[in-house]
Amino acid sequence: MPDPKAFLTTPRRQRERRDPQARLDDRREVYRPGALLPIINQQADRCMDCGLPFCHHACPLGNLIPDWNVLVADDHWRRAAARLLATNNFPEFTGRLCPAPCESACVLAIDADAVTIKNIELEIADRAWESGADQPKPPDRMTGFRVAVIGSGPAGLAAAQQLTRAGHTTTVYERADRIGGLLRYGIPPFRLEKHRLERRLAQMRAEGTGFRTGAAVGDDDLPADRLRERHDAVVIAIGATACRDLALPGREADGVHQAMTYLTLANRTDEGDHPVSPLSAEGRSVVIVGGGDTAADCLGTALRQRAAAVTQLDINPRPPHDRADDQPWPVHPKVYRVTTSHEEAGAPVADPRVFTATTVGFETDGRGHLAGVRIASAAPGDRHPTPGTERTLPADLALLALGFSGPERENRIAEQLGLTHDARGNLTRDEEFATSADGVFVAGDAGRGQSLIVWAIAEGRSAAAAVDRYLRGGTADLPAPITATSRALHAYVEERRPVRALGVPGASPRTGRTWACGRCGESACRASRRGEGCLTRH
Ligand SMILES: Cc1cc2nc3c(=O)[nH]c(=O)nc-3n(C[C@H](O)[C@H](O)[C@H](O)COP(=O)(O)OP(=O)(O)OC[C@H]3O[C@@H](n4cnc5c(N)ncnc54)[C@H](O)[C@@H]3O)c2cc1C
Ligand code: SF4
């Protein structure tokens, strides 16, 4: 029987992970199978079912979180699955991989521990597969329109599934030999076992989506303009995988590689393409340059390959344990996080990260092989080396995980369709995901820049709705959770002014600070002034 006061009496408990050292012996997911079952109903019961659910607004997909929490607490799993699958095509991916901005925005998180929303989502998703509640949904009738989706990451897959279900004949063109984008060749299996991807692809095939691998659109044998002529609409979802580099002395040394080269080979080895990875960290001293997801995935992979030592360099200062003043609830704050890879390396006790570390060069052994990475402490604020702090970390493998600068420029799709890039290197599109070329749309990282899976799925769904409107004319039936310019909830600091003049309920009398919704981009929008929390869908 659900307890209306469970949020007061039941402590937050998360899904248990396997022993960190035991995890290094295999590449299986880090979570203990079935670990959620005994606790999940009580955890869902902690949801207060708020009148204004900030979690729902913080989720780019607009997942109906309080609805499914209540249903799970009551053991209504099939109905919970129906609610979840109404807004999220791939909850088995987000339930494992999403950083859960919804939990940062949970009302309980104001002064207690947030509801374990992501864990609950995952349990609903996994049970839906096991119980047969997540069945293929082929269209009732075909529209006769043909759509090409270029790229098979989460954005392309979500767009394709929505368009197929709406009755359009949809084909996904992927240049790689396997479908999945970064879900396949970026994220390692210890965070997402690939049979989960295969299962979803089998469902999509059963619904009627076509897949063509080894199809590099833009190449001479498959030019984008010809593809456009053969289809009624095209969705470009080619990701943003142009890797940033470090133009530093010694960069050409043998042993300095892009992180994505390393991760792709490790994933290919797991797929059976190589007996051992052609670029293995085994027995090597590894330095990973970068502080994000990609760097953490390199760390977990290098530990599994039995590296002799691994150090990770982060140019930023170590984040605080708690929210900083300029990142108030309900934004997703930058705080000190220990990922599963860091846990395996011994964090937080022995954290392999060196913070405020800037790389100044690579040293070689005289025969062109990497021998060390030269680093210095970064001056706070300007990231430049502080004089007198230079030192060398011995290394014979350096992995560059410095982020991405938009879609790869070698891709000739833009040139062939007459598309332009914006100031950040992403493909230009309007609010409705449409480019300047008639019937050509852009979804996912290719338009937004390197982001998150949840945003990619939301982009795919919304771009599919835009395509559906374009094809049928007028209104579409498909849901569009975001626009192309929607952004995550973010904080900003108002110029210090008397609160009365600002007129924003809840602004701190001490700092005059408030926050605004990234969706409208207004500094103090009218909704906020009216006390609606600036969180209505714009
Ligand atoms: C190592 C790593 C770890 C990450 N971990 C997380 C995480 O834990 N959680 C999270 O939320 N996000 C994570 N991300 C980010 C997330 O993976 C991306 O935001 C998401 O995959 C973007 O989806 P997408 O469909 O836009 O592009 P992608 O997944 O990049 O897919 C693009 C696809 O287009 C194909 N393509 C490119 N050019 C062509 C062409 N000319 N013709 C045909 N096909 C083409 C590519 O081969 C690729 O398959 C991670 C990213 C990286 C790099
Ligand atoms: S997709 Fe991410 S933000 Fe949305 S409910 Fe799931 S964990 Fe939260």
pLDDT averages per 10-residue partition of the chain, 538 residues: 87 93 96 80 94 94 96 96 98 98 96 96 96 97 98 98 98 98 98 98 98 98 98 98 96 98 98 98 98 97 98 96 92 96 94 97 97 93 89 98 95 97 96 98 98 98 97 87 94 53 37 44 44 40
Best of 89, 93, 118 for a ligand 2 pocket test (most atoms within 8 Å of beta carbon): 118
Nearest to 401 by CA among 506, 310, 293: 293
- Dihedral Cα 457, 458, 460, 464, nearest 10 deg: 140
Nearest to 172 by CA among 92, 94, 91, 227: 227
Q: Which atom of ligand 2 is nearest to the CA of 121?
A: 6
**How far is the C-alpha of 175 from the C-alpha of 155, rounded, in Å?**
15
What residues have CB less than 8 Å from 510, skipping those under 6 apart? none
Residue 510: per-residue pLDDT: 38
> What tokens were used for 470?
């374009």
SS3 115: coil
Residue 494: per-residue pLDDT: 59
- At 172, which amino acid appears? V
Give residue 151 CA to ligand 1 midpoint distance, Å: 9
Nearest to 88 by CA among 143, 141, 128, 54: 128
| Among the bound ligands, the one closest to the CA of 101 | 2
DSSP 108: G
Check if 123 has its Cβ closer than 6 Å to any atom of ligand 2. Answer: no
Best of 47, 94, 126, 461 for a ligand 2 pocket test (most atoms within 8 Å of beta carbon): 94
Give residue 140 CA to ligand 2 midpoint distance, Å: 30
Q: Give the strands of the sheet with 210-212, arranged side by side.
A: 210-212, 169-173, 146-150, 233-236, 440-442
Residue 519: per-residue pLDDT: 44
Total count of residues recorded for the chain: 538
**How far is the C-alpha of 203 from the C-alpha of 249, rounded, in Å?**
50
Check if 259 has its Cβ closer than 6 Å to any atom of ligand 2. Answer: no
Q: Which atom of ligand 2 is nearest to the CA of 58?
A: 3
> What tokens were used for 391?
């030192």
| Among the bound ligands, the one closest to the CA of 177 | 1
Check if 109 has its Cβ closer than 6 Å to any atom of ligand 2. Answer: no
Residue 38: per-residue pLDDT: 75
Give residue 184 CA to ligand 1 midpoint distance, Å: 9
Check if 218 has its Cβ closer than 6 Å to any atom of ligand 1. Answer: yes
Find out whether 173 and 149 touch, Cβ atoms under 8 Å: yes
Check if 95 has its Cβ closer than 6 Å to any atom of ligand 1. Answer: no
What residues have CB less than 8 Å from 222, skipping those under 6 apart? 173, 215, 216
- CA R_g for the chain: 24
CA-nearest residue for atom 4, ligand 2, is 59
Nearest to 427 by CA among 442, 444, 410, 409: 442
**How far is the C-alpha of 21 from the C-alpha of 162, rounded, in Å?**
41
Check if 456 has its Cβ closer than 6 Å to any atom of ligand 1. Answer: yes
Check if 347 has its Cβ closer than 6 Å to any atom of ligand 2. Answer: no
Check if 98 has its Cβ closer than 6 Å to any atom of ligand 2. Answer: yes
Residue 17: per-residue pLDDT: 93
Residue 381: per-residue pLDDT: 74
Check if 375 has its Cβ closer than 6 Å to any atom of ligand 1. Answer: no
Q: Residue 85, CB half-sphere, CA atoms under 13 Å: how many?
A: 22
Q: In terms of pTM, does the model score above 0.95?
A: no
**Backbone φ, ψ for residue 120 (5° rounding):** -65, -40
512 class by beta-carbon count within 10 Å (0-12 exposed, 13-18 middle, 19+ buried): middle
The residue assigned the tokens 């929390």 is 533
The residue assigned the tokens 């005059």 is 512
Give residue 197 CA to ligand 1 midpoint distance, Å: 14
Find out whether 479 and 461 touch, Cβ atoms under 8 Å: yes
| Among the bound ligands, the one closest to the CA of 222 | 1
**Consecutive H or E run containing 370:** strand 370-377
The residue assigned the tokens 């981009």 is 521
Find out whether 478 and 162 touch, Cβ atoms under 8 Å: yes
Residue 4: per-residue pLDDT: 85
Check if 356 has its Cβ closer than 6 Å to any atom of ligand 1. Answer: no
233 forms beta bridges with: 147
> What tokens were used for 440?
């050509």
Residue 51: per-residue pLDDT: 86
Q: Is the peptide bond before 380 cis (omega within 30 degrees of 0)?
A: no
| Among the bound ligands, the one closest to the CA of 92 | 2
Q: Which atom of ligand 2 is nearest to the CA of 103?
A: 8
